[in-house]
Amino acid sequence: MKITVLGTRGSMAVSGTKYQEFGGGTSCYLIETDENAIYLDAGSGIMNSPTIEKKTISIFLTHPHLDHILGFPFFPMLGEKDRNIYLYSKGRNGLSSKEQVDYVFSGPAWPVQMENYPSNLIYKDLNEKDGVTLSDAKITWIEGNHPSGSLIFKIEIDGATLVYATDYEHSKESDQRLIIFAKDCDLLIYDGQYTLEEYPQKRGYGHSTKEHGIEIMNACGCKKLLFTHHDPFHSDGMLKLQETKLQGKCENIRFARAGEIIVI
């Protein structure tokens, strides 16, 4: 499975010299197979997507918070006439996937309706309990723990398994669900937004710590752990320092860097 990290930042996009190594664009990961280009979230990182030829394009939204949908109007393939783009999202607050996108990108807050772009946008509501199969890829999900809800996705391709658990705040009940869902996965991408020192002031905001991610990794037996949703106030220097410290205690962990390609 080929995974391209397009956006690693959480909550708000950032730019400047302090954000060169880990990136400033918000949540987006691209998974490619021979037949599919599957995007997890459409944060501002999606603007850096490579051009996709002759593959089915599907975007799976964990939830429609701004940092996960911000880049959608700038998705390069939206400008291609006759291109089908499938957007999958779960109904939230009584809004279908189309209504969630239109709620954000319509007047007076936004100048162009999504349906006015040249490509064909096809919205899919994630109501199926059995998941979605896209030829060579299977996608399943569970509900995480986040204000207004956020899905945790599992993608299975050719015997490799990726679990994407961003915008997830640990709790006894949700951890049990996640540990079962992510059991023995090859890669767990986990929301490690806060430091242990920051977390008590941020409790209830819907994000976790890296230390808790390591506990989840050990409990579910996943092979590699990648931290994502970097806090917008955490500079390269701070993240690098934290990463080195945690790698000293636990092998097979890494902080996501925009632009890197991971093969599992």
Provide, rounded to whole angstroms, the least separation between the CB of residue 193 and Zn ion: 8
Provide, rounded to whole angstroms, the least separation between the CB of residue 103 and Zn ion: 15
Complex with Zn ion: residue 65 or 257, whichever CB lies closer: 65
Q: Provide the 10 A C-beta neighbour count for residue 50.
A: 11
- Are 47 and 54 in contact by the 8 Å Cβ rule? The answer is no
Binding to Zn ion in span 163-182, by CB under 5 A: 167
- Total residues contacting Zn ion (rule CB under 5 A)? 4
Complex with Zn ion: residue 167 or 231, whichever CB lies closer: 167
Provide, rounded to whole angstroms, the least separation between the CB of residue 74 and Zn ion: 18
Residue type, 148: S
Residue type, 193: Q
C-alpha to C-alpha distance for 104 and 63, rounded to whole angstroms:
12
Binding to Zn ion in span 49-68, by CB under 5 A: 65, 67
Q: Does 156 bind Zn ion (CB under 5 A)?
A: no
Complex with Zn ion: residue 65 or 212, whichever CB lies closer: 65
Provide, rounded to whole angstroms, the least separation between the CB of residue 89 and Zn ion: 13
Provide, rounded to whole angstroms, the least separation between the CB of residue 216 and Zn ion: 18
Provide, rounded to whole angstroms, the least separation between the CB of residue 188 and Zn ion: 17
Contacting range for Zn ion; rule: CB under 5 A; set: 45-53, 83-91, 151-159, 162-170: 162-170
Work out whether strand 120-125 and strand 132-134 pair parallel, antiparallel, or are unpaired.
unpaired
Complex with Zn ion: residue 67 or 231, whichever CB lies closer: 67
Complex with Zn ion: residue 229 or 257, whichever CB lies closer: 229
Distances (CA, A) of 165 to 21, 27, 194, 216: 22, 11, 15, 11
Provide, rounded to whole angstroms, the least separation between the CB of residue 151 and Zn ion: 11
| Percent helix / strand / coil, the chain, rounded to 5 | 25, 30, 45
Complex with Zn ion: residue 42 or 185, whichever CB lies closer: 42
Residue of closest CB approach to Zn ion: 65
C-alpha to C-alpha distance for 12 and 177, rounded to whole angstroms:
28
C-alpha to C-alpha distance for 144 and 153, rounded to whole angstroms:
10
**DSSP letter string, 98-128:** HHHHHHHSSTTT-SS-GGGSSSEEEEEE---
C-alpha to C-alpha distance for 150 and 167, rounded to whole angstroms:
7
Contacting range for Zn ion; rule: CB under 5 A; set: 6-14, 129-137, 168-176, 255-263: 6-14
Q: Which stretches of the chain bind Zn ion, using CB under 5 A? A: 10, 65, 67, 167
